């Protein structure tokens, strides 16, 4: 069987900093910092909900993280402004090299799936908007088991859905916690180190391979 690839979506295929443009009219020079805090809190809230077994869809985590960032930066937004920013999060762009990288991997015969914390409808729309949905056999979401990465059950669910054995499945992610979570259940994992100063958690667990973008993956996976 061909190797099965699980592609994280937010931060790996899709550039979450793309919301910065929409934030500039509200946060001005703080837009970049606002976007980073929004993303950090979004992930933190998903971790906490997973641990507490108090699941709410990723959209709710995103909404609550937006509320936190507004409070932190003392920015008052109308409900219409918040709705506009949430809508912007559903139309984020793909990273520049993603389409070419996915095309090369698909041509090489890999079984490719989008694998996300996001709600299935949100992920489908996001991938369609970025014009990369056709590269994937399916979208697999944590919403189906109502937990979040890096809960081991999430990765086991991916393996069950795809019929892949752990040793035949790779996670592709720019998020170190995600890479570590996948390796912990026996999968292999590629860390997409998108910036030179990105750090990997010092847990004694290293990525199987490290690449700077998806176009490097075909060579890395066949090495």
- CA torsion 200-204-207-210 (nearest 10°) is 50
> Measured between alpha carbons, how far is 174 from 181 in angstroms, rounded to an integer?
13
Contact indicator for 115, 7 with CB cutoff of 8 Å: yes
Instruction: Name the β-bridge partners of 141.
Output: 116
Query: Rounded to 5 degrees, what are φ and ψ at 150?
Result: -100, 35
Of the candidates 8, 15, 122, 151, the residue annotated as catalytic is 8
- One DSSP character per residue, 78-129 reads -HHHHHHHHHHHTTPPBPTTHHHHHHHHHHTT-EEEEEESS-HHHHHHHHHH
Q: Does residue 8 have an active-site annotation?
A: yes
Retrieve residue 109's tokens: 């015969």
Range list of H helices, 108-196: 120-129, 152-162, 176-184
By annotation, the residues acting in catalysis are 8
């Amino acid at each position: 069987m061909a190797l099965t690839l699980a592609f994280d979506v937010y931060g790996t295929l899709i550039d979450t900093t793309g919301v910065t443009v929409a934030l500039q009219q509200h946060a001005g020079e703080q837009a970049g910092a606002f976007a980073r805090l929004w993303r950090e809190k979004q992930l933190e809230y998903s971790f906490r909900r997973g641990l507490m077994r108090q699941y709410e869809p990723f959209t709710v985590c995103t909404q609550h993280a937006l509320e936190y960032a507004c409070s932190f930066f003392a920015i008052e937004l109308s409900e219409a402004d918040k709705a506009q920013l949430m809508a912007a999060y559903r139309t984020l762009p793909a990273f520049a090299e993603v389409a070419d990288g996915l095309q090369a991997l698909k041509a090489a015969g890999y079984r490719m799936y989008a694998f996300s914390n996001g709600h299935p409808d949100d992920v489908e729309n996001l991938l369609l908007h970025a014009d990369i949905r056709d590269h994937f056999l399916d979208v697999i979401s944590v919403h189906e088991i109502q937990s979040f990465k890096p809960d081991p059950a999430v990765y086991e669910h991916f393996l069950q859905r795809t019929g892949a054995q752990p040793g035949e499945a790779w996670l592709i992610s720019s998020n170190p916690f995600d890479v570590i979570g996948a390796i912990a259940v026996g999968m292999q994992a590629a860390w997409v180190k998108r910036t030179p100063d990105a750090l990997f958690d010092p847990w004694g667990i290293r990525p199987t391979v490290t690449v700077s973008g998806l176009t490097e993956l075909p060579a890395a996976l066949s090495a």
